[in-house]
Amino acid sequence: IHGVWPDKEGTLLQNCKPLPTYIHFADKMLNDLDKNWIQLKYPERFARKEQPLWLYQYLKHGSCCQKVYDQNTYFSLALRLKDRFDLLRTLQLHRIVPGSSYTFKEIFDAVKTVSQTDPDVKCTKGAQELTEIGI
């Protein structure tokens, strides 16, 4: 998971006021997030304690849907969407695996089978590697 971004008619919303208060996770939610929304930039002990990535994402994007989703609901939604769309499994079912080459259309069509809408597939220009899939 990279993030859950609310939008309004195609306009990404971010850093909405008032900024919500972030409450550090513990117990099951902490473990679920740590497993599914990995904070790769940080050492594990620091990441679990300080939760910098989740804090950042919630303040930047969760702030824009706080009237509808509180912090727990926002992160629960992210985890449910990950499970619902399971992009890694979807790509594997379409025989798209890391380390091989595929066309943009092959990846696009595979993801569309679960998203039912056109996904936003992004690749790097130089190395032509898949970097992000937005649904």
The catalytic site residues sit at: 2, 57, 61
Q: What is the pLDDT of residues 24-67, one digit of tens each?
A: 999 999 999 999 999 989 999 999 999 999 999 999 999 999 99
Q: What's 9's DSSP letter?
A: T
Task: Locate CATH 3.90.730.10 in the chain.
Answer: 1-84
Burial per residue of 26-50, b for 16 or more beta-carbon CB atoms within 10 angstroms, e otherwise: eeeeeeebbeebebeeeeeeebbee
pTM for the structure as a whole: 0.82
Q: What is the pLDDT of residues 66-85, one digit of tens each?
A: 999 999 999 999 999 999 98
Decide which of 3.50.50.60, 3.40.50.2300, 1.20.1250.20, 3.90.730.10 is the CATH code for 1-84. 3.90.730.10
Task: Please give the mean pLDDT across all residues of the chain.
Answer: 91
